[in-house]
Structure 1
Amino acid sequence: MKRNVLIIGAGGVAQVVAHKCAQNNDILGDLHIASRTKSKCDAILQTVADKGAMKQDGVFTSHAVDAMDSAAVAALIREVGAQIVINVGTAFVNMTVLDACIETGAAYIDTAIHEDPEKICETPPWYGNYEWKKRALCAEKGVTAILGAGFDPGVVNAFARYAIDTYMDEVTSIDIVDINAGSHGKYFATNFDPEINFREFTGTVYYWEDQKWKETSMFASGREWDLPVVGKQKAYQSGHDEVHSLAANYPQADVRFWMGFGDHYINVFTVLQNLGLLSEKPVTTAEGLEVVPLKLVKACLPDPSSLAPDYTGNTCIGDLVKGTKDGAPVEVFVYNVADHAEAYAEVGSQGISYTAGVPAVAAAMLVASGEWDAKTMKNIEELDPKPFFTILDDIGLPTRVEFNGKDTAWNA
């Protein structure tokens, strides 16, 4: 049984992970959190203390580390005796943290695919450009690496596998739909790191259809979805992490990702993009200052964690999976609905951070118990979804299923 967890990162998702680890420290053991700015970690630990989140008395300490320095991360893993590392720092640090885990033997868990700061929307499959290159080494050294253990990617990957295994002989399509029907009351803001958020939408939108990669552009393909709780919502086809692993594991199926956007978001985004303010390339001002426009926009926007106190409404994220059973067509919608205000009341974070952070802790608990301690690299759909759903049900993200006109719990 693996115990003792090191959390990398100190943003909104890290706060959720910290609270959920604390609530389950009887399973996860000693807890540590590290970021380049230790004071941010200390602030998160204070929220854990204020909520009385620790299930039992135990260790929860903060540390400073530059997660871009693999040797420094490895040294910290050894110092604190961490056997599980939950990486919820920026996606730019995935590979250095993964390398540290491979060096030390600690299990690695992240919530998003690695990104190179100098590149946007690389050629598919994205995982093949980075993490998957370390798969053979993980297997050779017996290191567990669970990739994309957030909600999307993460839980939606498990939704797909569950729908296919439970209801189908063959799968023909997987459409992932992410709707945030909440309101944060700001003129304009992103629900997670603005730099990462915008980078997702400024490049080519890749999707898998007819057993090959196809391309479109952001906001070029949209449709209205009628979903539980949030009702009718417009969503647009977007590029996203899980499309790349699901396409590899279910190559016979069309795989697409759809994200909800309001007209106001699209208008502001379009103006920023047309002005060149979403570029990751440096520009020089008339005064001789070198500035990266995207980083400037990020600095001017609200910190996503600051949105939590006033956030209201719900998210609905799920998979519409189609296929055949005994030669007849079937379709099933597997989903979760989360409430922003409830998330804030429990852990002091908004619902987007909550849905991203809770699954990573569920994955850590499964690694700790041995059920997901794979001793190699896995994407979520390559692991048994049922124990994952069982823990998610218990710790705040219940799974629902719409099938044949009925809406039930997944295990009803």
Structure 2
Amino acid sequence: MKKNILIIGAGGVAQVAAYKAAMHNDVLGDINIASRTMAKCEALVAGILDRKALKRPGVLAAHALDAMDVEATKALIRRTRSQIVLNAGSAFLNMSVLRACLDTGAAYIDTAIHEDPSKVCEQPPWYGNYEWKHREECERKGVTAILGAGFDPGVVNAYAALAANAWFDRIDSIDIIDVNAGGHGRYFATNFDPEINFREFTGTVWSWQQSQWMANRMFEVQRTDDLPVVGTHTTYLTGHDEVHSLSANLDVPDIRFWMGFGEHYINVFTVLNNLGLLSEKPVTTAEGVEVVPLKVVKAVLPDPMSLAPDYTGKTFIGDLIKGERNGVATELLVYNIADHEEAFAETNSQAISYTAGVPAIAAAILIARGEWDCHRMSNIEELPPVPFIDLLGRLGLATRVRDAQGDRAFDAAEFRPREKHGEGRLRGA
């Protein structure tokens, strides 16, 4: 059993995580929020107190921290007696925060794969470039490290594990589909950190097809699906974190990630990219000033947190899974619908941040209870999915399933582990 959580970051995801942690401080204990900008942390604390979100009286404190400074992060972990650390900030921080956790024994959680600021779209599998190099040390030291505990990656990994363990005898394909059917009224904006957002789309699109890595260009491959609630949408094959762990942990020949984009987004992105404004490589202006084009674009775009008050509509994220069950070809859709206005009413954030922040706190609660305190490094699909999915429903992210029998709310009783061990099982299970 672990107590006291340190949340690193003060952006949209961290805000949702902090609100939800406050609502469950009877389980999580002290809540400490840290980022480079103290004022943002203080504003977050003030908002939580103003909403009276704390379930019971307790510690809720703000701290200034450069999380790239491992020694400073270790000192803060020890000073706050934090046994759980959530990196809800930049993916550039993952390795620094993980090192601090390995050295202090605190459990580690992140919501996205580590990135090196100087590199875009490294060779797959991405987890093998950084995180997985520390698996042996985690296990030797008994440190729990849970990777990619957002929605995608995160919940979609749990959906895949659920299907592999308890539904299919064999899985042939997993297509993860992410559609934001909402709108914020701005000419152009990204829903989370523009720097991270654009880096996803400027490199090679890696997917797992026919049990090998396949390379494509962004917006080269598309599909159209009629989805529950949000209707018919066109999505594009996109490189994404979860494909890089699911392909290693599941015996599934085809695993792909699809994201929805409107024509306007594609047009603006294409112009920015063609002009070189999405490059992470420094350039020198005529005045002799060195700038990184991508950072300049980030600086002039709206802060993603500022979009929340005007956001309307819903998001869809789910796994479309095809395979064989009891000798019959079967298709299963496991998904969530989130509402931007409902997310703002509860946490002052839009649904994109909400769907990433809530699962991270669900993971923290499961660690605190001991159910996911695994004392090793794990991707979400390597952990029991039912407690996670069930808890998410109680925290505000309800899961639904659709198959030949219809569309219905997730019921854990339907997903008891199957006795037959087919090819769709988790490797090593």
Scaled by the length of structure 2, the TM-score of the pair is 0.95
The answer to whether 1:160 aligns with 2:160 is yes
Aligned to 2:200: 200
Structure 1 position 162, deviation (Å): 0.9
Give structure 2 stretches of 5+ with no counterpart.
414-429
Q: How does 1:79-94 map to 2 (within 5 A)?
A: 79-94=79-94
CA distance in 2, matches of 1:213, 1:251: 14
For 1:389 and 1:198, locate their aligned partners in 2 and report how far apart those are by CA, in whole Å.
30
Matches within 5 A, 1:294-309: 294-309=294-309
The one-letter amino acid paired with 1:400 is R
TM-score normalised by length of structure 1: 0.99
1:224-239 mapped onto 2 (5 Å cutoff): 224-239=224-239
Q: Is the Cα–Cα contact under 8 Å of residues 164 and 321 in structure 1 kept in the other structure?
A: no
Alignment partner, residue 420 of structure 2: none
Deviation at 1:164, TM superposition (A): 2.1
Task: Supply the AA of the counterpart residue of 2:324.
Answer: T
Deviation of 1:327 after TM superposition, in Å, equals 2.3
Q: For 1:287, what is the secondary structure of its paired residue?
A: coil
Where in structure 2 are the equivalents of 1:88-167 lying within 5 Å?
88-167=88-167
Alignment of 1:231-250 (within 5 A): 231-250=231-250
Residue in structure 2 matched with residue 170 of structure 1 by the alignment: 170
Distance of 1:239 and 1:32 partners within structure 2? 33
Distance 1:330 1:70 in 2: 49
Matched, 1:382 2:410: no
SS in 1 for 2:92: helix
Partners in 2 of 1:133 and 1:37 — Cα distance? Answer: 31
Cα distance, 1:165 vs structure 2: 2.0
- Aligned residue for 2:417? none
Unaligned runs of 5+ in 1: none
* Matches of 2:388 and 2:277, distance apart in 1: 40
Distance 2:184 2:405 in 1: 33
What amino acid maps onto 1:143 in structure 2? V
> How far off is 1:380 after superposition?
0.2
Alpha carbon RMSD of aligned pairs, Å? Answer: 0.7
Q: Name the residue aligned to 1:293.
A: 293
TM-superposed CA distance for 1:197, in Å, is: 0.1
Counterpart residue number, 2:69: 69
1:405 Cα deviation (Å)? Answer: 4.1
Q: Distance in 2 between matches of 1:168 and 1:353?
A: 31
**Matches of 1:324 and 1:334 in 2, distance apart?**
16
Aligned to 1:217: 217
- SS in structure 2 of the partner of residue 115 of structure 1: coil
Q: Alpha-carbon deviation of 1:241?
A: 0.1
Letter in 2 for 1:303: D
Match of 1:256 in 2: 256
- CA–CA separation in structure 1 for the residues paired with 2:145 and 2:90: 17
Residue type at the aligned position of 1:41: C
Tell me the SS of whatever aligns to 2:190: coil
Greater than 6 Å deviation, 4+ residue runs? none
> Partner amino acid for 1:10?
A
Distance 1:176 1:70 in 2: 35
Aligned equivalents of 1:266, 1:39: Cα separation in 2:
35
Q: How many matched pairs?
A: 412
2:200 alignment partner, SS class: helix
Measure the CA separation in 1 of the matches of 2:352 and 2:399.
16
3-state SS, counterpart of residue 296 of structure 1: helix
> How far apart are 1:299 and its partner, in Å?
0.2
CA distance in 1, matches of 2:209, 2:154: 21
SS at match of 2:331: strand
SS of residue in 2 equivalent to 1:233: strand
Q: Distance in 2 between matches of 1:189 and 1:355?
A: 18
